[in-house]
Structure 1
Amino acid sequence: MARPSRSAEIDAALLQAVATHPRDLVGMVSAQLGLSNARVSTQVRKLVATGYLRKDGTTRPVYTMGRNRRFWQRYPRAGLAEDTLWSAHLSPLLRDVPRNVLDIAHHGATEMINNAIDHSEATHIGVQLELRDGVLSMTVADDGIGIFRKIARALQLPDERLALLELSKGKFTTDPRNHSGEGVFFTSRMFDRFQIMSGELVFSHEEGHDKDILFDVDGMPKEGTVVSMGISTTSVRTAKQVFDEYSSGPDDYAFAKTVVPVRLAQVGGENLISRSQAKRLMQRVDRFRHVVLDFSDVTTIGQAFADEIFRVFAQAHPEVELVPVHAVPEVQQMIRRAERARDADGGQPGIA
């Protein structure tokens, strides 16, 4: 039987040790892992060739971190602290990236690691960072219950796909005493690319695309949750810009605006026709002052669905501004009908 390759283990040891052992890197890692200098030197040459290490000199070479960076480690969840992991292992690899990207990476890594620590019920959490050719990628993976499954259970949702709807709104947490429920929402909008993979479902948000995407992955159900984030080191986006976009203003810096993808209230190929679907869609949105209802990819809605949102909910929550966008003419007609009925009621709650 062939021995398992230790290349990844050697790479990790080299990249972790290079900052403190630039002149004796090969010998130190060889002793640490119980391997020959020749074996470790082979990996050093590969890392130099691919830009992860830089070599200066030949007789007595000095090694430093290259233009590319890589880190991977798996930790027991118990006792893990996201701030310590960031400052000890991740931040040192990103000292030369622009400040705005560093701030976004700091926010995303610590938020997602903390979510895994506090919510996943996992035994282990894996953290990966790669900076390659001007793109920073980070992954946080756990072997726990799975984020969509946990949300579905907490809210008693009939389908795990509806958990994405709650994540898209923001302000949802299964532990409100210790969490605001804002971590996934803001992190997904700071990065160029953000994905959550859990079970057989994938949630994807990409900069430049005006809608979140949920799709199924064929195969056996998978345990745990994998969060993947990516951003270009040339990005000019800042964390403050993202917070400002969804805040109530400089004098009241609250998370006051959300965008709700209406199509996520659909399960399978069902149409949006019932009051129950509308109530599910509008669950918790009364926590916001400005709610954008994005009707992209929704070709039709029922009278009861529209009435529940634009008359019943609107009358019950006059402090919440509802703004429908991307609605096709047929959907616009149903919305206007419900709004006219609301106006005819004189703003008083009622039933239909």
Structure 2
Amino acid sequence: MRTFIVANVTKHPTDIVRRAAEKFDCSRQAIHRHIQRLLEVGALIESGKTRSRTYALAQLSSWRQHYEVASSGDEGDIWMRDVRPQLEPLATNVMGIWQYGFTEMFNNALDHAQARSIAVAVTKTAATSEVSIRDDGVGIFHKIQAALGLLDERHAVLELAKGKFTTDPQRHSGEGIFFSSRMFDCFSTTSGSVSFSHQAKAPEDWILETDASGGTAVRMELGNHTSRSVNKVFKQFTTGDDFGFTKTVVPVRLAQYGDDNLVSRSQAKRLIARFEKFRTVVLDFKGVALIGQAFADEVLRVFPLAHPEVELVPLNANKEVSQMIAHVLETSR
């Protein structure tokens, strides 16, 4: 009952007692006893009286630290010495996700950002924990844009969403952000005028316009009692005992901007860039209203002819998109 209360009180601050009583088919008095215990141990806070009373998660801890890149040490040392103690105690699978996500993102800031300083913040409630990493470097999307000669920073988000992209292939595989974004309940990367966000409960990627300053900010949030694990996430996109990164899910919607429709071959070429690095590419058409014949032909006929070893799997296509896909596939036979 207490786990249910902690997990749901943020969404239902005024009626959590009623909802818990209905969930467990018990009296409100019984739920109040559990809430009282959560108040006593500091997991919840209350405000108001009688019918206007509301409940909220209490912040169990809050910690911040600035690191100078020149003298910070490596991400493993900082994880063990500073960050891990702020998150403990948590289950082994949860700590495994935090170790992977923090060390990957902090290392990115060290190796790629050309930053002078990095700020880390950790907050924890009874339900969730959150870690943010902010640097004062060149900005991740700007750096990818420059490396690939892209017209717009938003194009860089699409490359991150695919996975297997890095501006330093000698030292990095380009997998860190992709897998980290899939491990956490909420994951976002903000830089310049663009923010890339992925949420586990609504597994789709978003590009948001922002007015952020320079550098890059990464925010990761995870439920303290999640059953997710590093291995479970890897297995969704890899094959074999060596966890070969062979499958990716690409939100096709990220290839369009504003009210533009996906109709041109140039848009398609931007989408399919580096698909040949995977064995399976799931094309998630969720949020795409329609696609043009030239776009569909380039993605679903021209690319497979050039790369028959790559399997393309359309997903979540509406009626109009499905009809265009069917038309192109029929003409390719």
> What interval of TM-score do these two structures reach, taking the shorter chain for normalisation?
0.7 to 0.9
| Structure 2 counterpart of 1:184 | 177
Q: Tell me, what secondary structure is at the counterpart of 1:70?
A: strand
Contact 1:159/1:267 (8 A) holds in 2:
no
Contact 1:72/1:126 (8 A) holds in 2:
yes
- Separation in 2 of the partners of 1:320 and 1:131? 43
| Aligned partner of 1:85 among 78, 95, 100 | 78
- Separation in 1 of the partners of 2:263 and 2:86? 52
| Structure 1 counterpart of 2:204 | 211
| Aligned partner of 2:133 among 136, 140, 153 | 140
| Structure 1 counterpart of 2:11 | none
Number of aligned positions between the proteins: 279
- Separation in 2 of the partners of 1:214 and 1:133? 30
Q: Structure 1: where are the runs of 5+ without partners?
A: 1-48, 52-65, 344-352
Q: Tell me, what secondary structure is at the counterpart of 2:244?
A: coil
Q: Structure 2: where are the runs of 5+ without partners?
A: 1-40, 44-57
- Separation in 1 of the partners of 2:155 and 2:174? 16
Contact 1:74/1:125 (8 A) holds in 2:
yes
Contact 1:86/1:110 (8 A) holds in 2:
yes
- Separation in 2 of the partners of 1:269 and 1:158? 18
Aligned residue type for 1:283: A
Contact 1:162/1:267 (8 A) holds in 2:
no
Per the TM alignment, residue 67 of structure 1 is displaced from its structure 2 partner at its CA by 8.8
User: Once superposed, what is the RMSD of the aligned Cα atoms?
Assistant: 1.9
- Separation in 2 of the partners of 1:133 and 1:92? 16
- Separation in 2 of the partners of 1:296 and 1:97? 35
Aligned residue type for 2:302: V
Q: Tell me, what secondary structure is at the counterpart of 1:281?
A: helix
| Structure 2 counterpart of 1:128 | 121
Contact 2:87/2:129 (8 A) holds in 1:
no
Contact 2:59/2:123 (8 A) holds in 1:
no
- Separation in 2 of the partners of 1:230 and 1:285? 29
Structure 1-normalised TM-score?
0.76
- Separation in 1 of the partners of 2:217 and 2:63? 16
Aligned residue type for 1:228: R
- Separation in 2 of the partners of 1:144 and 1:288? 31
- Separation in 2 of the partners of 1:144 and 1:197? 12
- Separation in 2 of the partners of 1:67 and 1:74? 21
Does residue 246 in structure 1 map to residue 237 in structure 2?
Answer: yes
Distance 1:315 1:324, change over 3 A: same
| Structure 1 counterpart of 2:327 | 337
| Aligned partner of 2:93 among 90, 100, 104 | 100
Aligned residue type for 1:176: P
Does residue 117 in structure 1 map to residue 140 in structure 2?
Answer: no
| Structure 1 counterpart of 2:218 | 227
Aligned residue type for 1:312: V
Q: Which moved more, 1:67-76 or 1:329-338?
A: 67-76
| Aligned partner of 2:164 among 160, 165, 171 | 171
Deviations 1:121-159 (A, max 9, x none): 111111111222231110000011111111111111111
Structure 1 stretches of 4+ moved >6 Å = none
- Separation in 2 of the partners of 1:95 and 1:140? 19
Contact 2:190/2:216 (8 A) holds in 1:
yes
Deviations 1:25-56 (A, max 9, x none): xxxxxxxxxxxxxxxxxxxxxxxx978xxxxx
- Separation in 1 of the partners of 2:269 and 2:70? 38
Deviations 1:6-34 (A, max 9, x none): xxxxxxxxxxxxxxxxxxxxxxxxxxxxx
Does residue 202 in structure 1 map to residue 184 in structure 2?
Answer: no
Does residue 292 in structure 1 map to residue 285 in structure 2?
Answer: no
Structure 2-normalised TM-score?
0.80
Aligned residue type for 1:68: L
| Aligned partner of 1:71 among 57, 63, 68 | 63
Per the TM alignment, residue 206 of structure 1 is displaced from its structure 2 partner at its CA by 0.8
Deviations 1:88-109 (A, max 9, x none): 1112233421111111110011
| Aligned partner of 2:252 among 247, 252, 262 | 262
- Separation in 1 of the partners of 2:190 and 2:320? 34
Deviations 1:307-344 (A, max 9, x none): 1111110111111110001111211121112212222x
Per the TM alignment, residue 185 of structure 1 is displaced from its structure 2 partner at its CA by 0.5
Contact 1:145/1:224 (8 A) holds in 2:
yes
- Separation in 1 of the partners of 2:107 and 2:71? 12
